[in-house]
């Protein structure tokens, strides 16, 4: 039945107040947003004048490097750049990402057939799943997971197969068993991993590619944190593996590597057939990124590699300060080797209340906002995710608030957890 029947009179069966009784298929499939409660509490606290240290959303605070900003200013002054662009990205930008993949990972790509520019990683991945997954087909996703990895399958009317993350050996065994048993069409991976910080090596990807080729599974690898690596770890691209382009594509983004989150520049690279399909769908959906942004992104990829190292260094310092200061406060946390997040198990005394309630307690009593682990899947409910998006001084301030909370007395009540005085 059409959304609006033109043959009906304007007032025919129209509910009072202009409300609609229509069911909205896609939005109704999505569950309540887990982070909404914490975001509302944070906004209310700030409206009351409270100083909230926000380690919740992974929204980089490090300024975009000046050469990129200056190029944007120059390009935006040229009226020729104000017109529609092309959805697959301008040629020089596709050439620039191909050249970086060659320099950094020794991966050869064809900028014409094996690359499409996306409006950030999230848009690229969600439209990629919509492009490749038919209703009822299965997608295998390790959990905890970045939410779009899970919900893109739901939006495509696919069947979601969840798999516990675990360590890389355990995960690889689970992937192999699920592929043989459940025959998924897609496998969605992301390393370095958000939210857990899990890292893998080339041997892991070799096994994944061998499985995918044997069982005809398309692998989508979200490589958003490729450059945020520490302590000598270097994150491999899945496209480094022989035969990967037969069964895999990789999503790369400038948001974290170049601190360009609001610019929304991403790429999908790899299997030519998949790139062609995504490019065709996107040609119906958008006209690409504003062209001055694409021009500035070329400068990022070609001239700003030293800034990438500096940005990673800032996150490493923040990681070290957070793990050290939170540990002194009574909350021991394992150091991640990559990403801009710390995946922290809830202190034992508070673990039974779950991640949402514990996040509320942190906000109310320590003045620290975090992301509840439940927002990344049910298996994350004993953890919270801490984003390294405050400076070192503010992170130490957060640790002091947490120390005060953890050194207090806590009692269970019918309303949840009440935190008493130290």
13, HSE (Cβ side, Cα atoms, 13 Å): 7
Q: Shortest CA distance to 193 belongs to which of 141, 155, 130, 152?
A: 141
For residue 95, give every residue at least 6 positions away whose Cβ sits within 8 Å of its Cβ, in sequence order, or none.
111
Query: According to the model, what pLDDT value does residue 29 have?
Result: 80
For residue 336, give every residue at least 6 positions away whose Cβ sits within 8 Å of its Cβ, in sequence order, or none.
192, 196, 197, 230, 319, 342, 343
* Residue 312 pLDDT greater than 90, yes or no: yes
Q: Spell 242-263 as b/e; 16+ CB within 10 A means b.
A: eebbebbbbbbbbbbbbbbbeb
Query: According to the model, what pLDDT value does residue 11 have?
Result: 46
In the chain, which segments carry CATH 3.40.640.10? Answer: 66-304
Please name the residue that has the structure tokens 């050249």.
Answer: 99
Please tell me the CATH code under which domain 23-62+307-419 is placed: 3.90.1150.10
Confidence tier at 17 by pLDDT (50, 70, 90): low
For residue 70, give every residue at least 6 positions away whose Cβ sits within 8 Å of its Cβ, in sequence order, or none.
none
Question: Which one is predicted more confidently, 183 or 10?
Answer: 183
% of the chain residues with pLDDT over 90: 85
Q: What is the pLDDT of residues 236-291, one digit of tens each?
A: 999 999 999 999 999 999 999 999 999 999 999 999 999 999 999 999 999 999 99
Beta bridge partners of 229: 338
* Residue 298 pLDDT greater than 70, yes or no: yes
* Residue 33 pLDDT greater than 80, yes or no: no
Please tell me the CATH code under which domain 66-304 is placed: 3.40.640.10
* Residue 42 pLDDT greater than 70, yes or no: yes
Please name the residue that has the structure tokens 């947003």.
Answer: 33
Q: Which of 162-176, 205-219, 254-268, 342-356 is predicted with the least confidence, judged by mean pLDDT?
A: 162-176
* Residue 318 pLDDT greater than 90, yes or no: yes
**Distance between CA atoms of residues 116 and 91, nearest Å:** 10
* Residue 386 pLDDT greater than 70, yes or no: yes
Question: Which one is predicted more confidently, 23 or 165?
Answer: 165
* Residue 384 pLDDT greater than 90, yes or no: yes
Q: Is the model's pTM score more than 0.75?
A: yes
**Distance between CA atoms of residues 49 and 51, nearest Å:** 7
If you average pLDDT over residues 407-416, what whole number do you get?
Answer: 47
Query: According to the model, what pLDDT value does residue 21 have?
Result: 67
């Amino acid at each position: 039945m059409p959304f609006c029947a033109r043959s009906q009179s304007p007032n025919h069966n129209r509910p009072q107040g202009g409300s609609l009784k229509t069911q909205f298929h896609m939005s109704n499939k999505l569950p309540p947003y887990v982070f909404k409660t914490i975001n509302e509490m944070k906004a209310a606290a700030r409206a009351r004048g409270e100083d909230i240290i926000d380690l919740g959303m992974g929204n980089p605070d490090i300024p975009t490097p000046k050469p990129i900003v200056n190029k944007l200013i120059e390009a935006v002054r040229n009226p020729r750049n104000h017109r529609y662009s092309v959805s697959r990205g301008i040629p020089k930008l596709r050439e620039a990402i191909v050249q970086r993949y060659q320099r950094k990972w020794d991966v050869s790509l064809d900028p014409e057939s094996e690359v499409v520019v996306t409006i950030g990683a999230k848009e690229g991945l969600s439209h990629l799943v919509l492009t490749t997954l038919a209703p009822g087909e299965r997608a295998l996703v390790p959990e905890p997971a970045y939410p779009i990895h899970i919900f893109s399958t739901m939006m495509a009317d696919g069947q979601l197969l969840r798999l516990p993350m675990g360590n890389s050996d355990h995960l690889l065994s689970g992937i192999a068993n699920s592929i043989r048993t459940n025959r998924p069409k897609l496998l969605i991976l992301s390393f370095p991993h958000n939210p857990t910080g899990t890292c893998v090596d080339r041997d892991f990807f070799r096994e994944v590619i061998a499985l995918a080729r044997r069982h005809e599974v398309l692998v989508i690898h979200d490589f958003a944190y490729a450059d945020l690596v520490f302590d000598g770890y270097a994150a491999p691209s899945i496209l480094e593996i022989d035969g990967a382009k037969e069964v895999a594509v990789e999503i790369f983004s400038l948001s974290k590597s170049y601190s360009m989150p609001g610019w929304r520049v991403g790429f999908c690279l790899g299997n030519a057939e998949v790139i062609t399909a995504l490019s065709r769908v996107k040609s119906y959906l958008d006209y690409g990124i504003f062209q001055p942004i694409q021009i500035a992104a070329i400068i990022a990829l070609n001239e700003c590699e030293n800034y990438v190292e500096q940005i990673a260094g800032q996150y490493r310092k923040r990681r070290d300060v957070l793990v050290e200061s939170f540990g002194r406060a009574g909350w021991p946390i394992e150091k991640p080797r990559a990403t801009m997040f710390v995946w922290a198990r809830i202190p034992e005394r508070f673990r039974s209340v779950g991640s949402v309630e514990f996040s509320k307690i942190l906000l109310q009593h320590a003045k620290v906002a975090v992301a509840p682990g439940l927002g990344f899947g049910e298996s994350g409910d004993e953890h919270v995710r801490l984003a390294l998006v405050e400076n070192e001084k503010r992170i130490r301030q957060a640790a002091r608030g947490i120390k005060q909370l953890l050194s207090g007395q806590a009692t269970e009540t019918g309303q949840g957890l009440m935190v008493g005085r130290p």
